[in-house]
Amino acid sequence: MAIDGVDGAGKTVFADHLAAVLRAASRHVVRVSADDFHHPRGIRHRRGRSSPQGFWLDSYDYPALRDRVLDPFGPEGSLHYRPASHDLASDELVDPPVQTAPAGTVLVLDGLFLHRDELAGEWDLSVFLQVPFAVSVGRLATRDGSNPDPNHDSLTRYVEGQRLYFTACRPWQRADLVVDATDLDAPILCAGE
């Protein structure tokens, strides 16, 4: 299962709640975040530290995500996975020990850009959290101390990079479910387009 949405949409919170519901229904769940599969800073910023194209195109190491998580949980997968390849805080590559999930385990993965072309067919179920930038950027400001204005120059890389994703992939059309997460305490399932 993929939980997609913009920065500050509430992907981690939503995915954690979903995992808790599945566990309460006696399902084995593995929680993974795409944030543990970033490229090192040198690759992420090779187009410039403020480049929207760099954010959209260079943020994540999709081959590592596929090799360490998606293939092991795929139809012919071994269920032997590694939940990370990079530590964002230290900007170091990591090689955690292999873990083995029981048969029937549900993978719940949250992250940005999960409906891009190279990942769009990977999900048994995908969710796109729809949140206006004014709300999501405000959440980031509260959490991270960043500027709350989505039009501020310091946010151009992120907001415009996500708009590039919207133009290229229209994730709300690729997702199985679209959830209005403007109010995280009262998400609303949206009608299909």
Domain boundaries, the chain: 2-125+147-189
How confident is the model at residue 134, as a pLDDT?
95
DSSP 111-180: ETTTTSTTTTTS-SSEEEEE--HHHHHHHHHHHH---S-TTSGGGHHHHHHHHHHHHHH-HHHHSSEEEE
Average pLDDT over residues 64-85: 97
Domain boundaries 2-125+147-189, CATH class: alpha beta
Structure tokens at 25: 């229904």
Q: How far does the chain reach from its first CA to its final CA, in angstroms?
A: 21
Residues 6+ apart with CB under 8 A from 159: 52, 133, 137, 150, 151
How confident is the model at residue 104, as a pLDDT?
95
Q: What is the mean pLDDT of the chain?
A: 96
